[in-house]
Structure 1
Amino acid sequence: MAKAVRRPTMEDVAKLAGVTQPTVSYVINGTANISEEVTSRVHAAIATLGYQPNMLAKNLKTRATETIGFLVPDITNIYYSTITKGVERALRERGYLAFLAVTGYDMKVEQRYVKSFIQHNVAGIIVAYSPSDEKLYEFIEHTRIPLLVMDDQPLNPNIPTVQLCNEEGGRLATEHLISLGHKKIAFASEPLVKYPLHQRLQGYENALNKAGLPISSEHILIAEKQPNIFEMGYNLGCRLLRADVNAVFATSDHLAFGIIKALTENNIRVPEDISVIGYDDVPMADMITPPLTTVAQPMEAMAAKGAELLLDIITGVPCETQVTLLPSLMIRKTTAKKDNSCAVVRKG
């Protein structure tokens, strides 16, 4: 059986350098004036032994770290992976590291990670989605660790947030379809457990009301929870085959991809027979055939602004604590003017 490798300690460094252990600590932390000759000996001993300081032990003494806890639900989703890369880059540019926690929308996992953040004395926490339980925000606030929320609206208005105006996005998508002559427009969404999805539905309904079009419960299609969002979209697309609609607003590009696949397999042409618009503007949206019309979210801007805002709060820099970013419409090839000579054939 292989023996466990013993990691070098500060005591080992002190013996090799011929100094006391407190002197090694002073050199590492820069907390005392140590001669250049002694400092060189300590650094040489550290290099020889491959010693790495125990940052957790240091943090327990100083109560300060350069690590930010970052909660996301899923990094296989391009939206969240883009946000994650943007936050990590923005933190790193200011000398901080991200402690990434992928929760899978599991409340117990969320709580476990937050407790781990606390144990590691993170300097702050970013939550980049609507957690399973609003009480998670209360728990974090009780610890007095600086908190920033992205793309969600906590009940407590004092929690700093960087939001995307999802109601505006829902309105943009629906008004675009209305401008093309569509009057029977479906709203297709994953389960409405997240605040942004409710806001997109509100924007959809507001646009229909403004245009004097009826809001039909038959046209609001909410998927059952599934682990694969593409399959969720595909199943919604199959349900659309039985709906009397000529356009659909999908609340994410991934849902739209699945919807288009289901329609195409059933000889429903996009956009000739039915127009489809997505939401997010992930990179694949411009690569599928036909390219997806969608609502673009400023994901990179939100990530950078969120990281910047939290670090300003941590360092005491005066800053705006409630930031809202606006989406924009990306018109491509999956939406077109309604052709009155064409109609979707309802099946089943």
Structure 2
Amino acid sequence: MEVRIIPFDEKYLDETLAMMRKWSPDHPELGEKSLYDWQRCTRYLAMSGDEVVGHIGQIAHEFRYADGRPPVKLGWGVTLVINMSQDAVRKAAGRLLLKACEDAPGVKYAAVGVVPTIEPAYLRRGHQIVREGSSYFARFFRPEKALAYWGKPTWYSSFAKLAGLFWRPDTTVRHGSLEPVTHFLAEWDPIWDDQMKQQYEFYGVRDADFLNYKLAQPNRQYFAFLHKDSSGAIDGYIIYRRAKHLTRDMDLVRVCDMVGSRTAKRDMLARAMQFALQEAPGTYGIVGLSSSTDEQNFKSTGMFVTRPYPVVLAAGVEGKPHVTLFDSDLDNLW
């Protein structure tokens, strides 16, 4: 049967959420109406007759260049869930849903969460895969759990434990002070933009509207702190939380987002490490996603595990993107 794409229609909401729960069983949170109500995105449905056989969302986010070039509005492709029961329908739905996002006016297609098996498909569609911009950073207290989750041999855990003896965790705040914050003010926006412009080639806008929206995500308990330098001036923020997978054995502290001076970052990551070690008993580790240029900041607090994090960008979009877990929908899942 022919597959067609339509803009999301509320009359299909219940059917769409049920389809997500059935065909994405590892992530039942995708079927939560509270997440749907909160998420800002454009949605498309794949229809076969009157049946919903696929869904994709697209999040628009302005990315800026440090050198003053005109900004680019990226359109992150998110929450691609497809009915897998019929091969022909599956292929058609996937292809057409991606095309709907690629052809969306006013945005340039982008994606995260890219695994090697689907990289060739993105390249065939004319996109580029940027590997040099961002990296995943971690320290595991139970490395065998992380290795099992990633499908890696658990005997690697011996090497991780040995490396951990060299890269000791640091929980000491040395360069200023940290203050809890529950709401970001617009008057702080220039601070964040100035810090990012100094450090990153190509970065997503961080302002009060974006940050307060993220903090309002349902079924999450975020911890947010402002950093003040020795003179009392605000020079950074960090947001983290404890995340437990709903269906698999994984429990991590996530550094969701962070902006600041080099010294502020080291203090803020030390506070996140303190939370992981002292206030999140039983967690398997602490992880973060940031620009590869932040590697020494993460390592300074003991997050020594590093691996490149590929990002898909539409052809013609230049620069190495700085992404964190607050970009795209990376913090929507568990």
- Which structure has more RCO (C-alpha within 8 Å, separation ≥ 6)? 2
The structure that has the greater radius of gyration is: 1
TM exceeding 0.5: no
Q: Name the structure with the higher helix share.
A: 1
Give TM-score, length-normalised by structure 1. 0.29
Higher strand share: 2
